[in-house]
C-alpha cells in the first residue's frame, strides 16, 4: 500500500532542490571558495570537501548519480567528471556558480522526470553501492535527505558569514 504518490514525493524533493538553488544563487563571491568547516579527507571525501562550491558540487553529483540508481554506466554532464568516485582525488579546478546552477537545473529536470515515471516495480528495484544496497524508492528518500542536509549546511553558513536570511520552501 502506497502512503505517498509520485507528485507528493516530487513536491518535497523539488523544494529541497529549490533551497539548494537559493543557497548557490545567494553565495557572495568572497565566500565561494571558503570552507564551512575544517575537513579531514578520507577515501570518500576529496581534499577541500568543505569549500562552499565543492560541497554544492558534491551534493549535485550524488543527486544525479542516485537518480540513476547505479554507479555502472553513470557519467555526469560536461564539464563534470567522476572525481567524486575516485579515492584520494581532488577536482581539477573550482567550478563556477553558473556551471553549478546549470547542473542543478539538469538534476532538477532529471529528478522530476524520474519521480514522475516511477512505478511500483521500479521503486522496489534493488540498487547496490559500495556502502550497501536498498530499493530505488528508499534510495530516493536517502537522496532527498542528502540534498536537504547539505543545502541546510550551505544556507546556515551564508547566514553566519554573510547575514543572508533564507526563506523556507514548503513545496516545489
Give domain status of residue 28, yes or no.
yes
In-domain check, residue 88: yes
User: What pLDDT score was predicted for residue 164?
Assistant: 81
- Taking only the tens place, the pLDDT of each residue in 7-62 is 999 999 999 999 999 999 999 999 999 999 987 766 466 777 889 999 999 999 99
pTM listed for this prediction: 0.93
Quickly state the pLDDT bin for 1 (edges 50, 70, 90): very low
151-172 pLDDT, tens digit each? 999 999 999 999 888 788 888 8
Structural domain boundaries, residue 82:
6-162
Helix or strand or coil: residue 52?
helix
CB neighbour list of residue 27: distance below 8 Å, 6 or more residues apart? 52, 97, 154, 158, 162
Identify which of 63, 16, 53, 62 has the alpha carbon closest to the alpha carbon of residue 166.
Answer: 16
Q: How many angstroms separate the CA atoms of 144 and 29, rounded? A: 27
- In the chain, how many domains are there? 1
Neighbours of 76 (CB within 10 A): 19
Q: Kindly report the backbone phi and psi dihedral angles of residue 128, in degrees, each rounded to the nearest multiple of 5, phi listed first.
A: -115, 135
Asked whether residue 1 is domain-assigned, the answer is: no
User: Interhelix angle for 97-116 vs 6-26, to 10°?
Assistant: 180
Question: Which pLDDT value is given to residue 39?
Answer: 72
Distance CA 140, CA 134 (A): 10
Domain assignment present for 115: yes
Residue 105 CB contacts under 8 Å (≥ 6 apart), including other chains? none
The CATH number that applies at residue 139 is 1.20.120.450
114-149 confidence digits (pLDDT tens): 999 999 999 999 999 988 999 999 999 999 999 999
Q: Rounded to whole angstroms, how far apart are CA atoms 152 and 52?
A: 12
Q: What angle do CA 23, 29, 35 make, to 5 degrees?
A: 70
State the average pLDDT over residues 84-101.
85
Amino acid at each position: 500500500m502506497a502512503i505517498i504518490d509520485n507528485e507528493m514525493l516530487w513536491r518535497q524533493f523539488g523544494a529541497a532542490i529549490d533551497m539548494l538553488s537559493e543557497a548557490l544563487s545567494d553565495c557572495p563571491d568572497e565566500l565561494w571558495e571558503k570552507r564551512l568547516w575544517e575537513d579531514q579527507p578520507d577515501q570518500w571525501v576529496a581534499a577541500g570537501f568543505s569549500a562552499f562550491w565543492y560541497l554544492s558540487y558534491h551534493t549535485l553529483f550524488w543527486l544525479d548519480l542516485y537518480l540513476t540508481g547505479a554507479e555502472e554506466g553513470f557519467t555526469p554532464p560536461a564539464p563534470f567528471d567522476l572525481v567524486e568516485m575516485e579515492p584520494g582525488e581532488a577536482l581539477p579546478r573550482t567550478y563556477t556558480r553558473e556551471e553549478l546552477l546549470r547542473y542543478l537545473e539538469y538534476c532538477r529536470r532529471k529528478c522530476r522526470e524520474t519521480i514522475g515515471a516511477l512505478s511500483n516495480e521500479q521503486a522496489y528495484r534493488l540498487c547496490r553501492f559500495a556502502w550497501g544496497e536498498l530499493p530505488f524508492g528508499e534510495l530516493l528518500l536517502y537522496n532527498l535527505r542528502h540534498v536537504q542536509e547539505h543545502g541546510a549546511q550551505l544556507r546556515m553558513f551564508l547566514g553566519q558569514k554573510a547575514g543572508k536570511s533564507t526563506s523556507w520552501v514548503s513545496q516545489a
